[in-house]
Amino acid sequence: MKKAFGFKVAVNDQLICRAGFENEHSIVTCILDSVRRKNENSEELSIHISGLNSDTHHQVDWFKDSLKEGDKISIEVISDGFDPPATERKAFKDKDLIAHKLKTYYKLKEELKEHLNE
């Protein structure tokens, strides 16, 4: 089995989590967002540490929170001692995926009807 990697994440020198999976097939992400919306005149700073267990197709979250100016984020690559996720969601069933895709399709079709040549 190949070595599994994950991330040890700290905010302002406080350990937040040790995100990772013991299995060979997985995805772990650490996302930092800085969003300024023009139409809503809003701002957002956030951190989200999540992943996907590709063997079980479960989506997981270790941490999600707001950030503020001056926060210091540190990320260290690790290969063991992972924390269990805070939340876990089962994969969508095929029929649910098709229903979601159809809903998106019809919404976009209506939104873009002036640009379609049918």
Query: Hey, which residues does 102 pair with through a beta bridge?
Result: none
37 is a domain residue:
yes
Q: What is the pTM of this model?
A: 0.74
- What mean pLDDT comes out for the span 95-103? 82
- What mean pLDDT comes out for the span 29-53? 92
- What mean pLDDT comes out for the span 94-104? 82
82 is a domain residue:
yes
Q: Name the residue range of residue 45's domain.
A: 6-91
97 is a domain residue:
no
- What mean pLDDT comes out for the span 24-49? 91
- Structure-model confidence comparison of residues 82 and 1, the more confident one: 82
96 is a domain residue:
no
Write down the residue that tokens 């690559």 correspond to. 77
Confidence at residue 118, expressed as pLDDT on a 0 to 100 scale: 55
105 is a domain residue:
no
11 is a domain residue:
yes
- What mean pLDDT comes out for the span 48-69? 94
What does the mean pLDDT of the chain come to? 90
28 is a domain residue:
yes
Count of domains observed in the chain: 1
Closest CA to 85 of 17, 5, 31, 7: 17
